[in-house]
Structure 1
Amino acid sequence: MFQIIGIVLLFAMVFGSYIMAGGNMGIILHALPHEMMAIGGAAVAAFLISHSMTVLKGVGGGLAKAFAGPKWKASDYRDLLSLLFLLTKTMKSKGVIALESHIENPGESTIFSRYPKITKDHFAVDFICDTLRMMTMNLEDPHQVEDAMEKQLEKHHHEALAPAHALQNTADALPALGIVAAVLGVVKTMGSISEPPEVLGGM
């Protein structure tokens, strides 16, 4: 909701100040289709050239998430801590064998089923199960589990942020595309330099 309000406020402030300063919106509206084609169209084309279908789908889903708001709430984090507590308590009180059925088949686990929202997040469930599975192997080096967790999280974050980075790179290129559009406008105007000022101003 706040994102939509922010976008409306942004356009109101920019074009409102332009109108208050005596600007003519007719000129803006007349140039809008050509400018959007030169800048926006070129940006979309460059974006399609530069990225894979996976990233393109991620951008679409990411934009929907941006307007939907945060997925996780404070109660969800409490549920996650409760889930981890129950799993570790089961491992310590009943042994590794009792935990194995929960981490090997979390979809049918009585512990995981208490927290359906967490269970729907496949990465979170796989991450928890894989980590607990490593812990049950009694590795000699206790840092092996930590290193594996950090690498898995780093890989996940890299993949999850790829659409955002792609969109950021495109946004960074927009000023350059804007300069290209402006130069083309200058070229068009200079090609009609013999016209009167009224015509050149419109160009």
Structure 2
Amino acid sequence: MDPATIIGIVLAFVAIFASMILEGGNPMAIFLLPPLLLVFVGTIGAGLAGGLLSDAKKSAAALKDAFMGAPTSADETVATVVRLAESARREGLLALESAVQDIEDAFLRQGLQSAIDGADPEELRDILYAQIDTKRAEDKRAAKFYADMGGYAPTIGIIGTVIGLVHVLENLSEPAELGHLIAGAFVATLWGVLSANILWLPIASRLKRLSESACHQMEVAVEGVLAIQSGTSPRVVQEKLQSFLPPAPAQKEAA
């Protein structure tokens, strides 16, 4: 689990509420049901209207990953592929049949099994990269749903403010109530901007980053499978796959 999203959202809300308290305000003043209902339900409704129901379902399922998911590391994939390359070098490609079943990464396991079964290298490359493209497109749909809501939320907040101001104009005969009504009207705009920039847009960015990490790991796996299939030396396999990874801190300092 990578808690960056949770930490970031909590810090943002702490900064907002702390500034309100320091200015002598009451944080509970912004928790008004009508603007909250309008902004959040209205934003979700606009998000649904702008896509397909399957997009919304995919996005709801991805929400857990946005908060609880961890970026996929290719380091373990590199270590696994190098170990398998050493076995294939000593005993042949068919000797990996039993070892493949113990691999937890389903994508890597599928690629190796296809290589063992004698798939043509070019066809295997095309198949595996097509799966990566499909995953990237699916992840993009989920991220786009939240990015779209990040665009809709501020405008829906303004709609809530306009509705509130209409209510203010209806009560001009009661001056004592005007201050409270005007403040309530602007709460909708606050929640529209706040939800867009602290919830929806960061969630979209997080999903994009997790997708990039997972697809990069899959690309490393593809190159590893093809290298094993071609009988490349384990040392060369390791060097090739290491080139896909960011340099270690020690190497950066040396550079």
TM-score, scaled to structure 1:
0.68
Structure 1 pair 64–200 and aligned structure 2 pair: CA distance change class (3 A): same
Structure 1 pair 93–180 and aligned structure 2 pair: CA distance change class (3 A): same
Find out whether 1:200 has 2:178 as its counterpart: yes
Cα offset, 1:175, TM superposition: 0.8
Q: 1:13 aligns with which of 8, 12, 15?
A: 15
Cα offset, 1:161, TM superposition: 3.1
Correspondences of 1:154-193 after superposition (within 5 Å): 154-193=133-172
Cα offset, 1:180, TM superposition: 0.9
Give the Cα–Cα distance (whole angstroms) in 1 for the partners of residues 41 and 35 of structure 2: 9
Give the Cα–Cα distance (whole angstroms) in 2 for the partners of residues 28 and 138 of structure 1: 62
Secondary structure at the residue paired with 1:110? helix
Q: What's 2:201 paired with?
A: none
Cα offset, 1:40, TM superposition: 0.5
Cα offset, 1:187, TM superposition: 1.3
Which is higher, the Rg of structure 1 or of structure 2? 1
Cα offset, 1:90, TM superposition: 5.3
Name the Cα RMSD after superposition.
Answer: 3.1
Cα offset, 1:173, TM superposition: 1.0
* Fraction of identical pairs, as percent: 24
CA shift digits 1:157-189 (9 cap, x unpaired): 111332122111112211111111111111111
Find out whether 1:125 has 2:125 as its counterpart: no
Q: What one-letter code is carried by the residue in structure 1 that aligns with 2:177? A: V
Secondary structure at the residue paired with 2:25? coil
Find out whether 1:65 has 2:62 as its counterpart: no
Give the Cα–Cα distance (whole angstroms) in 2 for the partners of residues 111 and 24 of structure 1: 60
Q: What's 2:132 paired with?
A: 153
Find out whether 1:80 has 2:77 as its counterpart: yes
Instruction: Identify the range of structure 1 (174-183 vs 57-66) with the bigger mean alpha-carbon deviation.
Output: 57-66
Q: Relative contact order: is structure 1 or structure 2 higher (C-alpha 8 Å, sep ≥ 6)?
A: 2
Give the Cα–Cα distance (whole angstroms) in 2 for the partners of residues 192 and 128 of structure 1: 72
Q: Is the 8 A contact 2:46 2:152 kept in 1?
A: no
